[in-house]
Amino acid sequence: MAHRIRSGNPGDWVHSMRLLWKSVDKMRCLRKRSTIPFLGFLITFLLFLNLYIEDGYVLEEDKRQLREASVHPPSSERYVHTFRDLSNFSGTINVTYRYLAGTPLNRKKYLTIGLSSVKRKRGNYLLETIKSIFDQSSYEELKEIVVVVHLADFDLVWCENLVQEITRKFAHHIISGRLLVIQAPEEYYPSLDGLKRNYNDPEDRVRFRSKQNVDYAFLLNFCTNLSHFYMMLEDDVRCSRNFLTVLKKVITSREGSYWVMLEFSKLGYIGKLYHSRDLPRLAHFLLMFYQEMPCDWLLIHFRGLLAQKDVIRFKPSLFQHMGYYSSYKGAENKLKDDDFEEDSIDIPDNPPASLYTNINVFENYDATKAYSTVDEYFWGKPPSTGDFFVIVFNKSTKISKIKIATGSDDRQNDFLHHGALEVGEKLVGTKKGKQCSSYITLGEFKNGNIEVQDVDHKIAFEIECVRIVVTASQKEWLIIRSISLWTTQPPSQ
């Protein structure tokens, strides 16, 4: 922490006051000539006095911290060692890691998968998780990933035994540079005693989640320069087949749009994707607020601070929680992601777009929610013949499949009774925003739903708009539950 340094010597204070009164005495003779110099002098004096008092406080604060450091030297030293360079959020944190298995390759990979693991009271799923990552990846996909495991337990005997198991089971992946096992030494950790008890959590729970934040921060910090993208997983996860191919397809479809975090599972820290360039800031962020709240809450705040307001989540989920016992006290944890599919290669990848409709929107069920990947929907008042709902892409794209569902289980009559699906080109600006000037009809809605395959074979042009048109008025309101699009990747992808 940087402080201004000024003298707090009482003798200096007395000397300054004498000079002040001499100056004031001289100014009495001049006060009839002008009051401006006196006012200027008075302001200068007040500023001087404020700085003196402030610096006196700072000096006292420095002394207090020094006294605390002398009483608690170990925790204080660890704190300073860890946080001394937080002013540079774009740089990595100075930590000397222990390499327990493997070493980083010089070539940057496409994706790093990060796991942090500690000793559990009941069960251990780390080996199964690592096995799932490798087993569900093709030979070509394995060339583009590196898995980093941070053994974050301070029990070195446990770490050593686990490393032996990992080395025995995954030796060829370690030799190939696809698997690294590391540890951040305990002396780099901040104090885990006397932490804030936010949310009335018990002390041991606060300690556990605070340490977990630091565990992840050190893992993120290590992974900064290993690849272009980073995927956060937990150590008790099962993967879907060829998940990397799906990730690459989604990332490619969002080129040119801004995002901080893409989500491929709705649970905890599982399946959260970042640009590697953001990892230093995220690591610093977790360290700065390590004792405030759980990691998954901090990830939401981080995403918002970097101006991604909405969740960007893709379904079906690519990762599933498989553990039955939590790493916290071995408590039962049977959470499952009901959106997970073992074979998720057919995941939709809605490209970035703007949405417009002339249907009267009910409350905050706006058009974007039908295109969202989370469990939301568009809800409008009864539409009339000719009303429309249009998706305008940020850039023209090739689409292989379109699937749209209207209505809901709760309101089964609020579906599109009569409507058509169109795709368009030749974008033009209008008073109501951008629109395509030329459309081709792909099909009619049946029972409120439509699915069109092989769109790229039926349409010769690159699509700039997708439009739903109401072909007959209805008395019922309209829910558009989901709009799912599958893009066609260029051959080089």
What would the two tokens of residue 29 be? 């003779």
Q: Which helix (H) or strand (E) holds 435?
A: strand 433-444
User: Rounded to whole angstroms, how far apart are CA atoms 398 and 187?
Assistant: 53
- Look at residue 150 and tell me whether its pLDDT is greater than 50: yes
Q: Where are the alpha helices (DSSP H) in 363-412?
A: 368-371
pLDDT, position 445? 96
Strands lying side by side in the sheet with 378-380:
378-380, 478-487, 399-406, 449-452
Task: Map tokens 């990992």 to a residue.
Answer: 166
- The predicted model gives 222-227 an average pLDDT of 95
CA distance 337 to 316: 10
Cis check for the bond before 316: say yes or no (omega within 30 of 0): yes
Question: Who contacts 12 (Cβ-Cβ below 8 Å, separation ≥6)?
Answer: none
Task: Assess whether pLDDT exceeds 90 at residue 343.
Answer: no
Model confidence, pTM: 0.67
Average pLDDT over residues 113-131: 87
User: How many C-beta atoms surround the C-beta of residue 407 within 10 A?
Assistant: 21
Query: What's residue 161's pLDDT?
Result: 94
Cα 370 from chain centre: 23
Residue 184 binned pLDDT confidence (cut-offs 50, 70, 90): very high
**Quick one: pLDDT at residue 33?**
43
Least confident of 178-182, 290-294, 338-342, 447-451: 338-342
Q: What distance in Å separates the CA atoms of residue 225 and residue 223, rounded to the nearest whole number?
A: 6
Residue 483 pairs with which residues in a beta bridge? 404
Asked if 407 and 365 count as a contact pair (C-beta separation under 8 A), the reply is no
Residue 164 tokens read as 């032996």
Residue whose entry in the numeric block shows the structure tokens 């879907």: 240
For residues 390-416, average pLDDT: 92
